[in-house]
């Protein structure tokens, strides 16, 4: 089934998930929406996140997508269950896969969750992890400065290093051996985060496990694509130039089809 898979995020963060999907499922076509003009979602009220996420979903509906990936933790925490119930196609989020990957990884059962204010407040990772193993200790840290760093393309800068060390300092006094990047923007800061946490801590992003989940659902439902040359499309509500510079850097592809859209 060669219909596209929709991938949505508040900005460029979901590209970290899309990249894994392109790697694991190279025949699938991805239609990506990044609501860059209204990013970040993290500090917004749940009602607003819900409305914006539905707008991205409705936008992609016109392209007859066969599946939707909510590649944003903040949106997953607020509205995944509702969109899943109401859409006639499979819909997946990124929190369950991230939690699953961390549970597999931890040896001492002390897991840190880095996320936006919204994701941390929602307690969604705690719920997902404790539902599987209630003996795990969780250390949530809100990192409100990380998303603006990524969206402005400063994710390799000395300033990024400073902000990461300042934000993660409280973790140095804990026994955590596993750190979940509970926001899809954070994998762009992964080298700096991993360096700060040191070799004893594993850093987990949800992209890999999410892509595996997508693959399993498509296979189970006999919906896999056979297209040898999928043509991905990217839609942003913000500047196509800034989107292009981050997307081409991250995906290693200079020939991207990016279009500016309005959602509201
Ligand atoms: N990439 C998003 C997430 O995973 C959104 C961050 C934001 O817009 O604040 O939570």
Domain locations in the chain?
Answer: 5-93+208-260, 95-207
pLDDT of residue 250: 95
- How confident is the model over 137-143, as a mean pLDDT? 98
The pick from 33, 115, 183, 190 for probing ligand 1's pocket by mutation, whose C-beta has the most ligand atoms within 8 angstroms, reads: 183
Measured from the CA of 72, which atom of ligand 1 is nearest? 4
Domain at 95-207, CATH from 3.40.50.2300, 3.10.580.10, 3.90.1640.10, 3.40.50.1860: 3.40.50.1860
The pick from 182, 185, 205, 206 for probing ligand 1's pocket by mutation, whose C-beta has the most ligand atoms within 8 angstroms, reads: 185
For residue range 17-26, what is the model confidence (pLDDT) as tens digits? 999 999 999 9
pLDDT of residue 253: 82
pLDDT above 70 covers a percentage of the chain that reads 100
Measured from the CA of 39, which atom of ligand 1 is nearest? 8
Let me know if the fold of 5-93+208-260 is the same as that of 95-207: yes
Q: How far is the CA of 226 from the centre of ligand 1 (A)?
A: 32
Write the CA distances from 13 to 136, 252, 255, integer angstroms.
27, 15, 19
CATH 3.40.50.1860 fits 5-93+208-260, yes or no: yes
Residue nearest to atom 2 of ligand 1 (CA): 72
Q: How far is the CA of 73 from the centre of ligand 1 (A)?
A: 6
pTM (2 decimals)?
Answer: 0.96
Say how far apart CA 152 and CA 227 lie, in whole Å.
34
For residue range 228-245, what is the model confidence (pLDDT) as tens digits? 999 999 999 999 999 999
- As for ligand 1, residues whose beta carbon falls within 6 Å of it are 9-11, 13, 39-42, 72-74, 116, 119, 147, 183-185
For residue range 26-48, what is the model confidence (pLDDT) as tens digits? 999 999 999 999 999 999 999 99
The pick from 38, 74, 92, 250 for probing ligand 1's pocket by mutation, whose C-beta has the most ligand atoms within 8 angstroms, reads: 74
Active site residues: 72, 183
Measured from the CA of 183, which atom of ligand 1 is nearest? 4
- How confident is the model over 163-171, as a mean pLDDT? 98
Give the confidence band of 1 by pLDDT, cuts at 50, 70, 90.
confident
Say how far apart CA 54 and CA 38 lie, in whole Å.
14
pLDDT of residue 254: 79
- How confident is the model over 175-195, as a mean pLDDT? 97
Give the confidence band of 143 by pLDDT, cuts at 50, 70, 90.
very high
């Amino acid at each position: 089934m060669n219909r596209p898979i929709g991938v949505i995020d508040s900005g460029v963060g979901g590209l970290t998930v899309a990249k894994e999907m392109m790697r694991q499922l190279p025949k699938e076509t991805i239609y990506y929406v990044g609501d860059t003009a209204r990013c970040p979602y993290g500090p917004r009220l749940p009602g607003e996140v819900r409305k914006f996420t539905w707008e991205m979903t409705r936008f992609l509906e016109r392209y007859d997508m066969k599946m939707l990936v909510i590649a944003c933790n903040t949106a997953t925490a607020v509205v995944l269950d509702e969109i899943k119930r109401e859409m006639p196609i499979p819909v997946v989020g990124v929190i369950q896969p991230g939690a699953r990957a961390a549970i597999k990884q931890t040896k001492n059962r002390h897991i840190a969750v880095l996320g936006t204010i919204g994701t941390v407040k929602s307690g969604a990772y705690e719920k997902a992890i404790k539902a599987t193993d209630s003996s795990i200790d969780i250390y949530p840290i809100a990192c409100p400065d990380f998303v603006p760093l990524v969206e402005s393309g400063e994710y390799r800068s000395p300033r990024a290093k400073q902000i990461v060390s300042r934000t993660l300092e409280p973790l140095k006094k804990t026994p955590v051996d596993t750190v979940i990047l509970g926001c899809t923007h954070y994998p762009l800061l992964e080298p700096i985060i991993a360096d700060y946490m040191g070799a004893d801590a594993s850093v987990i992003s949800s992209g890999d496990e999410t892509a595996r989940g997508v693959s399993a659902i498509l296979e189970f439902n006999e919906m896999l694509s056979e297209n040898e040359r999928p043509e991905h499309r990217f839609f942003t509500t913000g500047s196509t130039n800034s989107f292009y510079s981050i997307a081409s850097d991250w995906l290693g592809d200079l020939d991207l089809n990016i279009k500016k859209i309005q959602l509201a």
